[in-house]
Structure 1
Amino acid sequence: MGAAGRGARRGRRSPVCRARAGRQTPQVGSELYALDLSGVEWHSAPSGADERVEIAYLPGGAVAMRSTAAPETVLRYTEAEWRAFALGARDGEFDLEPGSHNGGAPTE
């Protein structure tokens, strides 16, 4: 995506940005994993699949992520880590090249 496309997107605020608006305290290491997740609201993309990824917004702009296949295993990311991941995904940083890992099918 060209610079014009990225610039146009920056004007909109994503749910992640809205969720962390006004929060000043960054979460780090043990603090992040010490948070009680029993009352968080888990979100996922609409899907008919039994297995999907869910995320929950945490204090300080942090994000928790889990799979419905193993909900007891929860990964937690600081605001900076989540932002880096989301921007990298948006920019295609993690796109797979066609190859043996996906049967040689082209990626879109």
Structure 2
Amino acid sequence: MDQVNLDEAEWRKSTASGDNGQCVEVATNLPGIVAVRDSKNPQGPALIFTPGEWKAFLTGAGKGEFDI
């Protein structure tokens, strides 16, 4: 995938995350992508997913497919 411009990303994190900084932030307002980053390192790299990939991840997580 080409370089993605995240300047207009509207980052959000779960309200259940608290203030400990152990969170991820997600931006879903960019056309055709979902960006995910570490809240402790907002200037660091972001993972980029298609909306379909992100939906598949959320569905799997909701079903417990990633439980250890």
Q: TM-score, normalised by structure 1?
A: 0.54
Gap runs ≥5 in structure 2: none
Could you say which residue in structure 2 is the equivalent of 1:65? 36
Give the match's secondary structure for 1:94.
Answer: coil
Could you say which residue in structure 2 is the equivalent of 1:93? 65
Could you say which residue in structure 2 is the equivalent of 1:38? 7
Asked which structure has the greater CA Rg, the reply is 1
Deviation of 1:80 after TM superposition, in Å, equals 1.4
Q: 1:1-108 alignment to 2 at 5 Å?
A: 29-30=1-2, 34-46=3-15, 47-57=18-28, 58-60=30-32, 62-71=33-42, 72-96=44-68
Paired AA for residue 56 in structure 1: A
- CA distance, structure 2, for counterparts of residue 43 and residue 56 of structure 1: 6
- CA distance, structure 2, for counterparts of residue 56 and residue 37 of structure 1: 9
Structure with more helix by fraction: 1
Structure with more strand by fraction: 2
Equivalent pairs: percent with the same residue?
39
Q: Which moved more, 1:86-95 or 1:45-54?
A: 45-54
Deviating 4+ runs (over 3 angstroms) = none
Deviation of 1:70 after TM superposition, in Å, equals 2.4
Give the match's secondary structure for 1:76.
Answer: strand
